[in-house]
Amino acid sequence: MIGVLGQGSWRLGLLIATVCVGVSAPPVIYAILQLVFRLEQLRQRLQTLAITDDLTGCYNRRHFWERSEQEWARAHRHGLPLAVLLIDVDDFKRINDAHGHHAGDLMLQTLARACDASLRSTDVLARYGGEELAVLLPQTSLSGALAMAERIRAALQHVRIDWQGQQVGATVSIGVAAMHASHADLKAMIHDADVALYEAKRAGRNRVYGAAQTQCAPAMAQSAAVGTL
């Protein structure tokens, strides 16, 4: 009935039909409907797996690019701000070398969860590759993105994992870029964030650097350098 009227959810209609069939229809029809439900659950599960990084539980790189392209088009069409963060774990190889790759995996998982806790529901967090995370910030200016990045950096430097009786910590460096008229496309904005990340690493790590159109000296903020290139 729901399908005929064109209103409501087809899943709700299927549920109602299943209940009715369970009461009045032969067992074989009921078994078929159960199979339909299970196939739908499997489809949803496969869809989730296709966009999720299996280690961190964040979105994967491919889905990040898909969402970013959508947000880029929307921001460009409506004149809205858009920003991106590239977050890289400092000296990650040292963690792997000193404690093993399982410790490194646990560290990435823990940092990703801590990062996600600092974000808004509209932000998009993904594992960009290796020990690098990416965050898309819709409707966010460069100054807002820098403030968000500094909150994340400050929160993550206090993260610890308990590994074989030791407390192991890590810091992150973050490159920030915001949509600008000089950007021909999404790749150009992300490239600017990547350059800013490189400068944050070069300046000493555990820092936030933002890409800008004019050169200016980094300013000190708390224990990290937060500035623009």
Q: What is the pLDDT of residues 30-59, one digit of tens each?
A: 677 777 777 667 776 666 667 899 999 999
Active site residues: 131
Q: Count Cα neighbours of 107 within 13 Å in the Cβ-side half-sphere.
A: 31
Helices (H), 137-185: 142-156
pLDDT given for residue 33 in this prediction: 72
Round to whole Å and give the CA distance between 130 and 117.
21
Rg (CA), the chain: 23
pTM: 0.77
Q: What is the pLDDT of residues 173-221, one digit of tens each?
A: 999 999 999 999 999 999 999 999 999 999 999 999 999 743 333 333 3
Q: What is the pLDDT of residues 103-162, one digit of tens each?
A: 999 999 999 999 999 999 999 999 999 999 999 999 999 999 999 999 999 999 999 999
Q: CA distances (Å), 19 to each of 12, 46, 156, in order?
A: 11, 26, 49
94 in the Ramachandran plot: left (φ > 0), alpha (ψ -120 to 50) or beta? alpha
Residue 59 near residue 53 (C-beta atoms within 8 A)? yes
Residue 84 near residue 68 (C-beta atoms within 8 A)? yes
Round to whole Å and give the CA distance between 105 and 128.
15
Which string of DSSP letters, residue by residue, matches 14-83? HHHHHHHHHHHS-HHHHHHHHHHHHHHHHHHHHHHHHHB-TTTSSB-HHHHHHHHHHHHHHHHHHT--EE
Residue 91 near residue 157 (C-beta atoms within 8 A)? no
Residue 208 near residue 188 (C-beta atoms within 8 A)? no
